[in-house]
Amino acid sequence: MATSTTPEATAVGERAAQILRAMQAHPGYERLTSSSMKYSTCWATFTGYPLVSQWNLDTDAAPLLDEALKVLALKAAVFELTGGDEAAAELLVPAPVDEMIHAVLAQFTVMTRMQTDLGVVFPHATELERFDYVRGCATDDCYAAAGWGEQPLRYWLDAAEVDRRLAILNERYRGAGFAPNGRSHAHIFDEAVVA
């Protein structure tokens, strides 16, 4: 029976490190990473990557992709160790990392092959996502137990910092005619654009 409790961090970390190494050794890994990087024209939301200070696709995409792959390995380990508990596997992660996870999971064919070949499931349940990641939570413990060191704080933003940055961005979005979080605008594209 699923428990919705994160298993012991050492077990998750050890299994996640094995999964990540298996992903990296898989014949589809290069396609997965290069395809995820080519997805740049469809990646961005108003509430994920823009939270990164001085975000730059050229310099931030590769390190953020590394973080997304590590989180996918962690989530797969939790999913496996809990007997398929999606709620437990939906670890707390900051929005910029989650956005890159979506770019990776959009590579459906190669991810499906990788899951089948490796015998793991890379779970992702949007309805279970919560953006209340805080430093020192179970996700951090599992990440450290995998032997990956400390997360780059440039991308691993605490929920309070995310809220602070979103408030700044939403003020700027409003000035450009966008509703909060970029969820709507009133721009009419059939009319001439006035500079």
User: What pLDDT, on the 0 to 100 scale, is given for residue 186?
Assistant: 82
pLDDT for 34: 86
pLDDT at 175: 87
Predicted model pTM: 0.87
Q: What is the pLDDT of residue 3?
A: 43
182 Cβ contact partners less than 8 Å away, ≥ 6 residues apart: 45, 46, 47, 173
Give the chain's residues under pLDDT 70: 1-4, 38-44, 191-195
Burial of 102 (0-12, 13-18, 19+ CB in 10 A): middle
Q: What is the pLDDT of residue 74?
A: 98
Task: Please tell me the predicted confidence (pLDDT) of residue 129.
Answer: 84
